[in-house]
Amino acid sequence: MIDVRALRENPEPARASQRARGADETLVDQIIEADARRRSALQEFEQLRATQKDVSKSVGKASPEERPAVLAKAKELAEQVKAAEARSNEAGAEADRLARLLPNLILDGVPTGGEEDFVVLRHEGGDPRDFAAEGFEPQDHLALGEGLGAIDVKRGAKVSGSRFYYLTGVGARLELAFMTMAMDQAVATGFTPMMTPTLVTPAVMGGTGFLNEHSDEIYYLPADDLYLTGTSEVALAGYHADEILDLSGGAKRYLGWSTCYRREAGSAGKDTRGIIRVHQFNKVEMFSFCRPEDAEEEHARFIGWEEEMLRKVELPYRVIDTAAGDLGTSAARKFDCEAWLPTQERWMEVTSTSNCTTFQARRLGIRERREDGQMYPVATLNGTLATTRWIVAILENHQQADGSVRVPEALRPYLGGLEVLTPLA
């Protein structure tokens, strides 16, 4: 949630943010007007309640002749106070509803536009391989995975339907290898590892900003009034909900390892082959609670840690600055790392890191008491450190002519020293 007081004092940054996102900037004025109605209704209620208290106190002091009129006045005021309280609550609820519709304000420098308007910041990891020069046509990750006995989508579909799969044999080992490597790296840099819940309450899901225009992507269990999470960011953000943190010693950093669930609504026909876009996958996610003035530096650290992992698995990748219209509700800025996908000759997102500034913390009631004794909302950041989709990039980029796959050197200790994944006989 945004700071309504700041919005009231200077609405132009919010209007500019909405324009950059391609969203409705009149929402800003609706919020300001609703907030004015809320404050007016609250003032009316408090004035009437104060008058009611004064009249009630005067009953005992009134003469027998005056008392009936005073009691009648007190009764009339009680009804007025009750009605004013209802109007105040209604105005407050509407102001809160509208305020929660406004996405986070983007930071200076975020590109304007939609999904295709990102800015490429740099290319890393060397040039993509020239398979033609090597004398063979590359296989896609599913053909490689089936040959290695690593991926089984046919039985996944038989058991659960489309966009489900099994990781089998070396496929299961490979995922566990780079996920464990990610956890080791994060622990070495001060993160606390956590296995998080994958079911959360509406308050936590809404507090992180996911119950908005993308809510159709989320699995909901009505019998339990719980949501399946599409990222451990949700559970990690909710970990300190309604708490007061001590950040005097620096950021609190957590690493969530969880299974994630996404309905992939609206993705019919997109990435239907293999395991690029699926309903269930695993992910290791970085999360940080820090002071707002430290958030941009923390964001730079997050992208650095993501790139360190991509160097370890020896992938050619690029870093993009995501355009405003492609940001999630909570993100004020987002950087993605995209690995090269040889068989499709395109870049595929493999990591993402977002600076959510104080947006989630305000909604979840997460604050810090500073040295001056005052309470301030904290900033939250998240970032992918490894996920199932990496198997796609690793298999395709490190394949060899005979269908085997070279194991990146940094991964070998996590696979028992295995240097090459060989096809089944």
Annotated binding site for ATP: 262-264, 278-281, 349-352
Residue 414 DSSP class = G
Whether 253 sits among the annotated catalytic residues: the reply is no
How much of the chain is in helix, strand and coil states, percent to nearest 5? 45, 20, 35
DSSP secondary structure of 354-374: EE-TTHHHHHHT-EEE-TTS-
- Is 419 catalytic? The answer is no
Query: With 0-12 CB in 10 A as exposed, 13-18 as middle and 19+ as buried, what is 411?
Result: buried
**Torsion sign over Cα 332, 29, 23, 209:** positive
Residue of 37, 349, 404, 412 marked catalytic? 349
| Catalytic residue (choose from 37, 49, 173, 277) | 277
The string of DSSP codes covering 110-165 is PPPSSTT--EEEEEES-PPP-HHHHTSPPPPHHHHHHHHT-EEHHHHHHHH-TT--
Q: What 3-state DSSP class applies to 323? A: coil
How far apart, in whole angstroms, are the C-alpha atoms of residue 31 and residue 19?
A: 16
352 a catalytic residue? yes
Q: Which of 88, 288, 330, 352 is catalytic?
A: 352
Region of residue 328 (left: phi > 0; alpha: psi -120 to 50; beta: else): beta
Identified catalytic residue from 21, 38, 262, 362: 262
| Nearest C-alpha neighbor of 364 from the set 245, 229, 228, 219 | 245
Q: Binding site: what residues are annotated?
A: 231-233, 262-264, 278-281, 285, 349-352, 382, 384
Question: 262 catalytic, yes or no?
Answer: yes
Residue 231 burial (CB count, 10 A):
24
DSSP state of 425: -
The dihedral through the CA atoms of 15, 19, 20, 22 has a sign that is positive
CA-nearest of 22, 23, 7 to 99 is: 7
Distances, alpha carbon 322 to alpha carbons 225, 310, 325, 332, 355, in Å: 33, 19, 8, 10, 12
For helices 170-188 and 295-312, what crossing angle results, to 10°?
140
**Catalytic residue chosen out of the listed positions 291, 363, 367, 389:** 389
Task: Report the b/e string of 333-352 with b at 16+ CB within 10 A.
Answer: bbbbbbbbbbbeeebbbbbb
Give the H or E element holding residue 341: strand 333-341
Known active-site residue 338: no
Binding residue ranges for L-serine:
231-233, 262, 285, 382, 384
Residues with catalytic function: 262, 277, 349, 352, 389
